[in-house]
Structure 1
Amino acid sequence: MFQLLFVYGTLMSGFSANVFLSDNQFIGYGVLYGARLLHLDEGYPAVVDGDGRVFGELYQVDTLTLKAIDFFEDFFEAFPEKSLYIRTIRPVRLLPYGDFVDAWVYILNSCFIDSKSYIEIPGGNWRDFLKKLLML
């Protein structure tokens, strides 16, 4: 069974964790509304609920791929309270057409937000943020 997955950080094309998605179909680019994007001091991003938007990529994935990414994202379906990220379904707008699709998204577990150091990423695009960071 195939499902849609929205990725916004190291799982995107051109980044190291995209290897998880190499056998899956790239659907296109998308925008997640009602969210903020953070760059954690550990060097990777996290989405939290908020009033902004986050840009990323959509993939059609199979169940086995989703389970592998759950492990990578420290999501434990049986123990969500102990998970770093929570996998949840959110509406994502496809670019450039504007249709909304329901996709899985990994959201930072709110119980961890106070224990993390981070920079909020204005504009919600991690790839652009890293380009600017590397130019400094």
Structure 2
Amino acid sequence: MFQLLFVYGTLMSGFSANVFLSDNQFIGYGVLYGARLLHLDEGYPAVVDGDGRVFGELYQVDTLTLKAIDFFEAFPEKSLYIRTIRPVRLLPYGDFVDAWVYILNPCFIDSKSYIEIPGGNWRDFLKKLLML
């Protein structure tokens, strides 16, 4: 059975964890509304609920891939992230689709140091960070 997965950080193309998605179909780019994107001090991003938007990529994944990514993200054992289904809009300005998204477990928000990413795009944030 195939499902959609929205990724916004190290699972995106060009980043180290994208290897998990190499055998899965890239659907396109998307935007998650009602969310904020944080860059955690550990060097990776996290989504939290908010009034912004987050840009990322959509993949069609099988159950085995989803289980492998759950293990990588330590879900649900350590529960830094919670995997939940959210509506994601296909770009450019397409339909909304329901996709799995890993969001930061709310109980960790106060224990993490982070920078909020104003544009909601982690790839652009890293490019600007490297230019400094």
When the two structures are superposed, what TM-score results if normalisation uses the length of structure 2?
A: 0.94
Deviation at 1:18, TM superposition (A): 0.1
Give 3-state SS (helix, strand or coil) of 1:124's partner.
coil
- 1:78-132 CA-to-partner distances (Å, cap 9, x unmatched) read 9858401000000000001420000000000000011100000001000000000
**Percent same amino acid among aligned pairs?**
99
Structure 1 stretches of 4+ with a deviation exceeding 6 A read: 74-79
Contact 1:85 1:107 survives alignment (8 Å): yes
Contact 1:39 1:121 survives alignment (8 Å): yes
Contact 2:38 2:114 survives alignment (8 Å): yes
Deviation at 1:5, TM superposition (A): 0.1
TM-aligned CA distance change 1:76 to 1:134, over 3 Å: closer
- Report the count of equivalent residues: 132
The equivalent residue for 1:27 is 27
TM-aligned CA distance change 1:52 to 1:79, over 3 Å: closer
The equivalent residue for 1:8 is 8
Contact 1:90 1:104 survives alignment (8 Å): yes
Contact 1:93 1:99 survives alignment (8 Å): yes
When the two structures are superposed, what TM-score results if normalisation uses the length of structure 1?
A: 0.92
Distance 1:34 1:42 in 2: 24
Contact 2:29 2:91 survives alignment (8 Å): yes
Give 3-state SS (helix, strand or coil) of 1:75's partner.
helix
